[in-house]
Structure 1
Amino acid sequence: MSFIRTLLKDIEPNELGYTYSHEHIVCRPLYWIEKNADDLLLDSPEKSKKDLIEFKNLGGNSIVDATAIDYGRDVDAVAKLAKETGLNIVGTAGFNKAFLWKSRLTSRLKKIVGDFETYEDWIEKSSIDNLVNHVVREVEVGLENTNYKAGQVKFGTGYNSITPLEIKTIRVVSRAHHKTKAPVHAHTEAGTMALQQINILKEEGVNLENVSFGHMDRNLDNYYYNKILETGAYLCFDGIGKIKYAPESHRIEEIIKLCKQGYKDKILISGDMARKSYYKNYSYGLGLSFIIKDWSERFIDEAENAGLDGQKLLNKFFIENPMKCFTFKK
């Protein structure tokens, strides 16, 4: 039996449709609140909803919301948006990366995870078994004591480094994956440390065909990509439109090269729009409509110039590959 778990219900894999594989919809990370970084607070469900509707009107069906517990997610608000828009939204259990964990836990979260002062305190002092039970519960019962279940489990590491507590969360998420069969997502800061993450996942007996690695277009390195893809994992190019990191031509060139190398079945595309300035209806950014409309038109042109069928590749990136990647394989 196989299925995809959305916040509202489990669906057949072929019901997922056109999918963005890594986004954030409503989140108020305590770390960024403490830093007064307003741009990093997606704090208006109504404004997020307008972007979601534009995405849907252009043919979008589903979004994977990669917001873990330590990134200020609002489970009820996002589930409400799923109901109001009719989009499939996949939620995320697990963790992000260590530098976020200095934030103090709210009283609400303390009731859920225990009377710890910070995320770091919680992760450090809790046993691996207790943390595994927490992640499993978020997949099988509901996120943060709601009835809305996670459809993937996540861990993260920092830039060119993995701390002992990050290693602990990789082991936790791996063991929760074994118990639930939930797909795994890896946060890689600036696209680094995926190979080191893979070593730990292998120690935990994880089949890499169930894992997607995020932020890969922050580290445009074909040799590195091939080493990851040789394991059977997915690469998520989720910085589309972020020219401050690399010209769009470099991203598309690398994606086309990977397709020619035989990896078209292992590529996911998204925008990771976790800032107000990225959203159209917060502050006139490119918005959730950019990839499905503008970027896709350009990609078709560039793919065809390279002798490939651009539309067939888009169907792979946005429909066929997410359908396989985000499926629970019981």
Structure 2
Amino acid sequence: MSFIRTLQGDICPEQLGFTYAHEHIVCRPPYWLEKGEDDLLLDDQQKSERDVFDFKRHGGKAIVDATAVDYGRDVQAVKQIADQTGVYIIGTAGFNKSFLWQARLPDRLKLIIGDYSTFEEWIDQSSINALTEFVVREVEEGLEGTPYKGGQVKFGTGYNSITPLEEKTIRAVARAHHETKAPIHSHTEMGTMALEQIEILRSENVEPSYVSFGHMDRNPDPYYHEQIAKTGAYLCFDGIGKIKYAPESTRIDLILQLVQKGYEDQILISGDTARKSYYKHYGHGLGLAYIISKWVPRFIDEAERRGFDGETLVKKFFVANPARCFAFKK
């Protein structure tokens, strides 16, 4: 029997509904806080909540909050938003990428993790098994000492590289996956290193079909996407609305090329809305409603012009595929 673990508790996969696969809702990343990058601090619970309500008003049911421990989670605030809006929110255990680990470890985390000066020192001085135990606790007991449990485990790597400490966290997350059966999410910087990550996961006996790879549209390479899809992994196109990286026509074409090759059951969609300027109620940006209200109708139109059933594909990308991808399979 499978289930999906949300901040509100465990639910049946059929309950999940229309889902964004990778977002950030309330977070104050220590690295960006130290750099004074205010745009990267989602630090107003009420403004974030208004955007989640916008998503709900257009038919949205669930959001995966991909904010790991090193990205300044506010678990209590996100849980309150889930309760206020009625939108299911999946929390994330695990880690992000290594440059973020240069930041000082916040005092609140020292009470949970130990008296290390930085995230990097913690990861460097801990064994893989100790890091695994931390991730398992976050899935089985609660995120950062709260009673609200993580619904996926995450790791990340940098641009065209995997550092020794990043490999260490990949192995810790892989082992936590085996112990908890939690689904895995990968941060790939600029969409790179997914195949190399898969090699490490396979050395830990992890099946790629349990993994979703983020930021695939940041590397608009159809051949590369096909190689990842062949492993059975999920590909997350989570840069919707970010025209500075590529027009929507490029993303839609990449997605439809995968559909044409038979991989429509492995595609996830989201916006990775991690800046004030992307949110409507912070910076007058496109907001969390953009994908469901504007992008989906465009995708359906473009898909049908090319002979595909756009409505069916949308149901797969936002309902059926997330219900499978984010399920714990006992």
- Letter aligned with residue 181 of structure 1: K
Alignment partners' CA distance in 1, 2:95 and 2:225: 24
Where 2:205 maps in the other structure, the secondary structure is coil
Matching of residue 267 in structure 1 with residue 267 in structure 2: yes
What is the rounded CA distance, in whole Å, between the counterparts of 2:107 and 2:296 in structure 1? 44
Residue 75 (structure 2) aligns with: 75
Deviation of the 1:195 alpha carbon: 0.6
**2:226: which partner in 1?**
226
Aligned length: 330
Percent identity between matched residues is 67
Match of 2:124 in 1: 124
Q: Give distance in 2, aligned partners of 1:180 and 1:236.
A: 22
State the Cα distance separating 1:92 from its structure 2 match: 0.1
Any idea what SS the aligned residue of 2:36 has?
coil
Which secondary structure does the structure 2 equivalent of 1:91 belong to? strand
Given the two structures, how large is their TM-score scaled by the length of structure 1? 1.00
What is the CA deviation profile of residues 232-264 of structure 1, one whole-angstrom value per residue up to 9, with x for unaligned ones? 000000000100001111110111111011010
What CA deviation, in whole Å up to 9, does each residue of 1:237-293 have, x standing for no partner?
A: 000010000111111011111101101000000000000000000011000000001
| Structure 2: segments with no counterpart, 5+ residues | none
DSSP-derived class of the 2:285 partner: coil
The residue number in structure 2 matching 1:104 is: 104
Partner of 1:133: 133
- Paired position in structure 2 for 1:48: 48
Cα distance in 2 for residues equivalent to 1:108 and 1:292:
36
Superposition CA RMSD, Å: 0.5
Residue 156 in 1 paired to residue 141 in 2?
A: no
Structure 1 residue ranges without an equivalent (≥5): none
2:194 is aligned to: 194
Distance in 2 of aligned mates of 1:129 and 1:259:
39
1:152-204 per-position Cα deviation (integer Å, ceiling 9, x unaligned): 00000001111000000000000000000000000000100001100000000
The runs of 4+ residues in structure 1 deviating greater than 6 Å are none
Q: In structure 2, what is the Cα distance between the partners aligned to 1:222 and 1:106?
A: 41
1:170 and 1:134 map into 2 onto residues whose CA distance is 13
Instruction: Name the TM-score, length of structure 2 as normaliser.
Output: 1.00
Tell me, what secondary structure is at the counterpart of 1:109? helix
1:168 and 1:254 map into 2 onto residues whose CA distance is 32
Paired with 2:6 and 2:68, the residues of 1 have a C-alpha distance of 15
Matched with 2:182 is 182
Q: Tell me how far apart the structure 2 counterparts of residues 84 and 93 of structure 1 sit (CA, whole Å).
A: 23
Q: Partner residue of 1:144? A: 144
Deviation, structure 1 residue 310: 0.5
Identify the residue that residue 8 of structure 2 maps to in structure 1: 8
- 1: CA distance, partners of 2:107 / 2:253: 48
Q: How does 1:28-43 map to 2 (within 5 A)?
A: 28-43=28-43
The residue number in structure 1 matching 2:285 is 285
CA shift digits 1:50-98 (9 cap, x unpaired)? 0000100100000000000000010000001111111100000000000
SS of the residue aligned with 1:235?
Answer: strand
Q: Is 1:257–2:270 an aligned residue pair?
A: no
3-state SS in 2 of match to 1:236: strand
1:199-224 deviations in Å (ceiling 9; x for gaps) = 00000000111000000000011111
Secondary structure of the 1:5 match is: strand
Shift of 1:129: 1.0
- Counterpart AA for 1:312: T
2:283 and 2:144 map into 1 onto residues whose CA distance is: 30
Q: d(CA) in 1 for partners of 2:301 and 2:106? A: 49
Q: Aligned to 1:308, what secondary structure does the other structure show?
A: coil
